[in-house]
Amino acid sequence: MKIILQTSTALWLSLALLSSTVSAKGLAHIEGVINQVQPQGTGRLNFWGFHVYDATLYRPAGKDSAEFALDIKYQKSFSGATIASRTADEMKQIGVPEAQSAIWGKELAAVLPNIEPGQTLTGVYSPKQGTTFFYDGKKIAQFPGADFSKAFFGIWLDSKTSVPKLRSELLGNGCPPPLITGAC
């Protein structure tokens, strides 16, 4: 019995160390922009009963920092063009003028890859760099400036979002990043 318990304990310890190593590797692209990142909240988007993706909002240890990241792990396949089109539609929903959301939608369509289940898209915001996009941890694009960033991240974090439950899950017990206006 003692040998089984020791083996079981060793196995759990190995799995815990492996998962923390995978987790650390999984955040390297975020930590390349934001120091001492930690999750603020995690949520799931379901649409008509289908699990579409899981999202995690990351913030620095000092919650007053303007930097943050949104990591989305997809559970369904989508073309980059479909994601870009939906993004433009959601930007309009939170008040971005149609002409501007169409421009940003076309720019996104030019850089977003097709997505398969298990793959991730991450947006990292830094006031100095704007929004940097990563696909499975590899940088794919950068959009300078706060206007695009506010519109893009507002899809999930603005009080006018079409997914208020997901917004609440992402914010947890905290407030939105300073870039995003609105009530906590």
Name the pLDDT band for 184 (thresholds 50, 70, 90): low
Q: Give the range among 4-8, 92-96, 149-153 with minimum mean pLDDT.
A: 4-8
Q: What is the pLDDT of residues 21-63, one digit of tens each?
A: 334 446 888 888 888 889 999 999 998 889 999 999 999 987 6
Name the pLDDT band for 17 (thresholds 50, 70, 90): very low
Q: Give the range among 31-40, 69-78, 104-113, 134-143 with minimum mean pLDDT.
A: 31-40
Q: Tokens for 2?
A: 């003692």
| CATH C-level class of 2-171 | alpha beta
Q: What is the mean pLDDT of residues 3-32?
A: 47
Q: Where are the domains of the chain?
A: 2-171
